Chains A and B, each alone.
Chain A
């Protein structure tokens, strides 16, 4: 953490945990008899309980979206650029809630949690959940916090998919849905990348069919490869060129297979540091959540029909250099909303940062979010 906190930081935050003992029936047919959700909140819920914003995390995100856990923290939460006093999700006006989703590895019930039925970690036996399951669990969290309607549900990438699912499953549960750098479903190419990531993990000799906890090992190489691959898809060709070009670490070729180019060094570092903070079974599960997301499927593959019952106002945002979930994918969402005469705005932000752009500070992007959220604030009277 910086010596002094920036004035627009939410400061030191403490995660909280809620235990849910009402069984949750999952899409896969199985039931979680009880589970825990860990979450953080920033700002204060107003008396009318109208100012709550739900922030949904993406593939490798968690509940720690803003601020610092301790003065020793080097980095703030993953969306600190947008959450805080005076920031787009202004904590002087809004009560922001961010949770770790079910199946996660940061405190909410998931593969690393102890299965009460066996007394051992769930591991690969943890049920594969879906975005719809998440939204159900998020609705229960909201209810427990006294929130009957979110002023907005906001997320990027997989988080944006949760915002869409909210609008479909709980039309009255939110006023605004902000889907950023998202897609209505994964393409074959998206699924292909996920499959290579899964194969990397599952073919690691330390994977032990997912029971690696019992062997006191971690499938490091597999998880590292999965993250390296993912990272390539989060960046654009331009961003990689600008960041690394063909820079050599030692300034000359060494005619070997050790790290030579800066980009190799960067990817290895990203992969290695990820292994320290993430669980391989959760990574497998998260990629499946992505693959399975397809709200149109149960509406005869008609996205317009899926969104018909939605009453939220939508703000869809895409980034020009995002090739993982390109602007064309966001426009599919917009089109389906237009088909229904729903309230929707769409912005396509010029950025060279690729898919990662949704997490990066960008003046135009942040002004857009700020302006939209001001409108939301006026609507809910804060």
Chain B
């Protein structure tokens, strides 16, 4: 199975032997990778029954749950990292979920498709239609992505909610970086990866 390239970047951010919670863990591939490469102790949360079976097959601890129902099963500060990979844009309350992530975890890691990428802007501005792309393959009427945002939107939400960004990486669909993306991340970056924590009071 081909490894999703953002996994490698996330893995580099994770300290070996730490405790990891993956929200919307899908088929468990990221956790299986982190278990193997970082020796973490981990749990995934997932809503889809077919994915639960894949997680079980992958030997990953998985809890079937609806992220929109919150993380009330988890005590405060019970994880080192809480990961939300390609899922932020699909939940009802992204702002509350970020708060929940930093309640149960010391640090949060999110990845999401950057809606501010120039191709999206061109499709709306010139094409006059909702963008459809490699990272946003669905039509507007059947997309699970109900809360798309740009890098700027995300960072503004963090600032407003007392969250400080520790690390940001912006990559293209092949998860390559580049000077262009470093210079104009919100325009040229296709996928954004953030590591963040609560600002000390």
A residues sitting closer than 8 Å to B (CB atoms) are 315, 331, 334-335, 338-339, 341, 343-350, 364, 367-368, 371-372, 374-375
Contacts and interface: CB of A to CB of B under 8 A. Distances in A.
Given A364-B49, A368-B52, A371-B57, A345 B63 contact: yes
Interface residues on chain B, size class: 20 to 34
Contact of A371 (B53, B64, B65): B53
A331 B52 CA distance: 16
B43 interface: yes
Chain B binding surface SS class: mixed
A368 B53 contact: yes
Interface string B57-85: 10111111100000001110010000000
Contact of A348 (B53, B55, B60, B64): B64
B159 interface: no
B38 interface: no
A345 B49 contact: no
Contacts of A368: 52-53, 56
Given A345-B63, A375-B57, A375-B59, A339 B75 contact: yes
B135 interface: no
B59 A344 contact: no
B153 to A, nearest CB: 33
Contacts, number: 50
Contacts of B119: none
B63 A341 contact: no
B62 A345 contact: yes
Contacts of B18: none
A182 to B, nearest CB: 16
The 6 A-B residue pairs whose C-beta atoms are closest, nearest first, are A346-B63, A371-B56, A348-B64, A335-B73, A345-B62, A347-B64
Contacts of B19: 341
B164 interface: no
B11 interface: no
Interface string B149-160: 000000000000
B41 interface: yes
7 contacts: A343-B61, A344-B43, A345-B52, A345-B62, A345-B63, A347-B49, A372-B56
